[in-house]
Amino acid sequence: MGAGYSTLRSLNSECEVTAPGLIYLLGSTMPRKTMWMIRAEVGGKYFEDFKSKSIVAIGWKELGNLGAFGAREAFVQAATKAYPTYRKMQVAVFAGQTFRFVREVKVGDSVVTYDPSTRVYLVGTITSEYFFDESLVEDDPNCRRVQWRGEVPRDLLSVSTKNSLGAISTLFLIPPEANDEIERLLAGNVVAPSKLSAEDEEKEVVTLLRDIQAQGLEFIKDAVNKLDWEEMQQLVAGLLKAMGYKTRISPSGPDRGKDIVASPDGFGFESPRIVVEVKHRAGSAMGSSEIRGFLGGRHKDDKGLYVSTGGFTKDARYEAERASIPLALMDLDDLVNAVLEHYEKMDMEAQRLVPLLKVYWPA
């Protein structure tokens, strides 16, 4: 065994670890294979083609035969030329997926594809290099041949493995733990982990939901933070409208400490009259001097709302607490949470600024 390699053995272990990244089951000489998910289009549209023709295939046929492309940059250039109206990020995704299929997937790698209608994962081994053939699968001419080894029902998988297989990408690497579980179940291995109790599985699902919610919240904050100042004004005004107020946005230029006035009548004649200042400066927290400046031009019957996507200093919050009028401070977290709470009541113009999708989850 060459320099830099080590062997770790455990008396009560079922596996032997040798050389970084390679795990051997006792009694076997084969390392764990890399395992890929390659989807048969949306809804498993071409699952039966994959199965009956012993292939996996992906689309992006506008790129033509990819066999001559070497470095990733060649795929990027081809995708940029083939899809001139697409955003840069979309083009990068197309290039990345095709590059992996042609250059990173190897003969001997394991592959999985999914049939949503029967809820089974078809598991096989890649047996050929990349080839281009428009006759095998409609719209998906980029192909590799596969020897299918069997099927694993989704219902037998753990929650964590189900989650790892849920990515929407056409092609992605399956994590080692999920790889091992699929192989054990495929072999009918009785050493497979015992099923979680209903209570434990529910806890795992709840934990997964919280993780997804947290990720979703951060992505929404990213989207809000990318708005320009005028769009941010429109978003805050849309939020106040959804809360039952009529709003008036100040024209560009000196606003004497107000960007939006919200009130029942829209003119500020009826109470409550809410005067709003919007500061959209990422990473720049508002201090006590900005709060004092905002309060300086207020009438005694005004209510104040100060929105700062850059947040507030401790002194600014103290200044707001002892203000002579009711004053609420709203940072980026507060703004996004308020938008989510009132989103369905916001008008189309405001929703267009931060388009969101409703996602259902088991209760």
pLDDT for the residue 191: 44
Instruction: Name the one residue in this structure whose structure tokens are 């400490």.
Output: 257
The percentage of residues in the chain with a pLDDT greater than 90, rounded to a whole number, is: 60
Q: How far apart are CA 183 and CA 174, in angstroms?
A: 12
The reply to whether 61 and 187 lie within a common domain is yes
> Does pLDDT of 229 surpass 70?
yes
In the listed set 176, 195, 214, which residue is the last one of a domain according to the structure?
195
| DSSP tag of 175 | P
The reply to whether 147 and 48 lie within a common domain is yes
pLDDT for the residue 318: 95
pLDDT for the residue 13: 36
- Report yes or no: 278 and 307 within 8 Å, Cβ to Cβ: yes
> Does pLDDT of 22 surpass 70?
no
Whether residue 27 lies inside any domain: the answer is no
Positive or negative torsion for Cα 55, 57, 62, 65: negative
> Does pLDDT of 358 surpass 80?
yes
pLDDT for the residue 209: 78
The reply to whether 117 and 45 lie within a common domain is yes
Helix, strand, or coil (residue 118): coil
The reply to whether 277 and 172 lie within a common domain is no
Instruction: Name which of 87-91, 314-318, 333-337 the model is least confident about.
Output: 87-91
pLDDT for the residue 58: 96
> Does pLDDT of 192 surpass 80?
no
Instruction: Name which of 2-16, 73-87, 280-294 the model is least confident about.
Output: 2-16
pLDDT for the residue 252: 65
The CATH number of the domain holding residue 270 is 3.40.1350.10
- Report yes or no: 287 and 273 within 8 Å, Cβ to Cβ: no
Nearest to 350 by CA among 210, 185, 232, 249: 232
Q: Sheet of 7-8: strands edge to edge? A: 7-8, 15-18, 22-25
- What mean pLDDT, rounded, does the chain reach? 85
Nearest to 346 by CA among 203, 256, 221, 247: 247
The reply to whether 180 and 262 lie within a common domain is no
> Does pLDDT of 224 surpass 80?
yes
- Report yes or no: 290 and 279 within 8 Å, Cβ to Cβ: yes
In the listed set 171, 195, 219, which residue is the last one of a domain according to the structure?
195
206: Cα separation from own chain's centroid: 18
The domain in which residue 49 lies consists of 32-195
Whether residue 220 lies inside any domain: the answer is no
pLDDT digits 0-9 by tens, 154-169: 989 988 898 889 877 8
Whether residue 105 lies inside any domain: the answer is yes
Domain tally for the chain? 2
Whether residue 244 lies inside any domain: the answer is yes
Q: Which residues contact 134 (CB under 8 A, 6 or more apart)?
A: 61, 141
What are the φ and ψ backbone dihedral angles of 360, each rounded to 5 degrees?
-95, 145
pLDDT for the residue 254: 53
In the listed set 148, 178, 195, which residue is the last one of a domain according to the structure?
195
| DSSP tag of 8 | E
The reply to whether 172 and 36 lie within a common domain is yes
The reply to whether 177 and 299 lie within a common domain is no
Q: Which residue has the higher pLDDT, 319 or 193?
A: 319
pLDDT for the residue 287: 94
Instruction: Name which of 56-70, 133-147, 261-275 the model is least confident about.
Output: 261-275
The CATH number of the domain holding residue 96 is 3.10.590.10
The reply to whether 40 and 98 lie within a common domain is yes
Q: Residue 85 carries which side chain, given as an amino acid letter?
A: T
Task: Please compute the mean of the pLDDT values over residues 249-267 and round it to a whole number.
Answer: 74
Q: How many CB atoms lie within 10 A of CB 176?
A: 14
Whether residue 61 lies inside any domain: the answer is yes
> Does pLDDT of 126 surpass 60?
yes
The reply to whether 185 and 236 lie within a common domain is no
Q: How far apart are CA 237 and CA 312, in angstroms?
A: 21
Instruction: Name the one residue in this structure whose structure tokens are 């390659």.
Output: 38
Whether residue 16 lies inside any domain: the answer is no
pLDDT digits 0-9 by tens, 267-309: 777 788 999 999 998 778 999 999 999 998 788 888 999 999 9
Both tokens of 65, joined, read 């035969």
Whether residue 221 lies inside any domain: the answer is no
> Does pLDDT of 331 surpass 70?
yes
pLDDT for the residue 26: 38
Whether residue 162 lies inside any domain: the answer is yes
The reply to whether 269 and 191 lie within a common domain is no
User: b/e string for 116-155 if b means 16 or more Cβ within 10 A?
Assistant: eeeebbbbbbbeeebbeeeebbeebbbbbbbebeeebeee
pLDDT for the residue 361: 78
Q: Which helix (H) or strand (E) holds 338?
A: helix 332-342
Q: Which residue has the higher pLDDT, 207 or 243?
A: 243
Strands in 210-267 per DSSP E: 246-249, 260-263
pLDDT for the residue 51: 96
Q: How far apart are CA 256 and CA 141, in angstroms?
A: 63
pTM for the model:
0.61
Q: Residue 305 carries which side chain, given as an amino acid letter?
A: L
Q: In Å, how far are 31, 111, 164, 185, 331 from 126, measured between CA atoms?
A: 16, 7, 21, 19, 51
The reply to whether 269 and 330 lie within a common domain is yes
> Does pLDDT of 19 surpass 80?
no
The reply to whether 37 and 169 lie within a common domain is yes
